[in-house]
Amino acid sequence: MLILISDAFDQTLPERLKAFGEVTTDKNRLGEANVVLVRSKTKCTKEYIDQAPNLKLIIRGGVGIDNIDKAYAESKGIIVRNTPKSSAIAVAELAFALMLSTPNHLVEYHNGMKGGQWLKNLKRNELYGKTLCLFGIGNIASKVAERAKAFGMTVVAYDKYVSSSPVADMKASPEAAVVDADYISLHLPLTNETTGMVNKALISHCTKKPVVINTGRALCVDADDMVAMLNEGSVAWYCTDVWPTDPPSEDYPVLKADHVTLTPHVGANSEENLARIGEETYDILEELKNGGKI
């Protein structure tokens, strides 16, 4: 069995995976590969899959599989798996760091100090007593909710597929979820339904001027509407770690907007997370090999 590691994983993983066969990082050997490991960079399109006639398994190290044509892969008899639990803590901590940075004006204070300004009159706000609205209540969002509750926040959530949660008060619609939100944190897959979900129409239901944090999928936010809402003040701040492409095009509207905090898609890039991805990947290979599927 030939295992192709196509993207960046924990540096100890290649040696560990030798228990299952030959391991390579040479992308020119795709045609020989039986297993391909990817993260976000490699796009497993129909064309990519057609170059791999021996492929039996694609493992995506991370939560989503947006970069894999799952239906086409499975039509070719290729198993598609991911590591949904591994990234939960890393992404949740970044989402919470972004949420903390905004009412504490960390970006403004830092830039002010570097520029010789003493912004003592710029007052902070607390998370305590504020309302957090989560879109999606999967592994990552649940970790964010746990942290928010530890800070004394009220947590509500909307998830089309979940009616109850031990960590959030579930709402029946997106509009109902955002009514009292001080903060909105996005943890959604990208689907036809979620594309552009955060827009002027949704935010018009807010009774406050929320901070929006996106560590899910960039296109769940209508970028033009977001810039307009930031300019008019109906959204207080937008924090995002996710982009339509990595990196985004220079004309992506959010890049030049005011009242934003931007990070370069690093939510899953903790050292601990890379190690957990490796562990889940090993477990998947062991499970499928023992089951005679690869």
pLDDT higher than threshold 90 for residue 66: no
CB 215 within 8 A of CB 241: yes
What pLDDT score was predicted for residue 63? 85
Closest CA to 27 of 10, 13, 8: 8
Helix (H, G, I), strand (E, B) or coil at 277: helix
As a whole-number percent, the residues of the chain with pLDDT over 90 amount to 95
What is the chain's length? 294
Q: Which residues lie below 8 Å from residue 99, measured CB to CB, with a gap of 6+? A: 127, 132, 183, 185, 211, 213, 239
Task: Name the residue with higher pLDDT: 64 or 207.
Answer: 207
Helix (H, G, I), strand (E, B) or coil at 113: helix
| Token representation of residue 204 | 């018009």
Average model confidence (pLDDT) for the chain? 96
What pLDDT score was predicted for residue 76? 97
What pLDDT score was predicted for residue 64? 83
Closest CA to 38 of 12, 65, 14, 59: 59
Cα(203)–Cα(212) distance, integer angstroms: 10
Cα(10)–Cα(276) distance, integer angstroms: 9
Is 2-86+271-290 CATH 3.40.50.720? yes
At 84, the pLDDT band (50, 70, 90 cuts) reads confident
Mean pLDDT, residues 88-117 taken together: 97
pLDDT higher than threshold 90 for residue 233: yes
Helix (H, G, I), strand (E, B) or coil at 39: coil
What pLDDT score was predicted for residue 117? 97
| Token representation of residue 31 | 């045609």
Task: List the chain domain ranges.
Answer: 2-86+271-290, 88-262
As a whole-number percent, the residues of the chain with pLDDT over 70 amount to 100
φ, ψ for residue 149, nearest 5 deg: -65, -35
Tens digit of pLDDT for each residue in 183-232?
999 999 999 999 999 999 999 999 999 999 999 999 999 999 999 999 99
Report how far apart, in Å, the C-alpha atoms of 201 and of each of 147, 175, 188, 197, 237 are: 29, 9, 18, 9, 17
CB 171 within 8 A of CB 156: yes
Is 88-262 CATH 3.40.50.720? yes
What pLDDT score was predicted for residue 178? 98
Tens digit of pLDDT for each residue in 114-173?
999 999 999 999 999 999 999 999 999 999 999 999 999 999 999 999 999 999 999 999
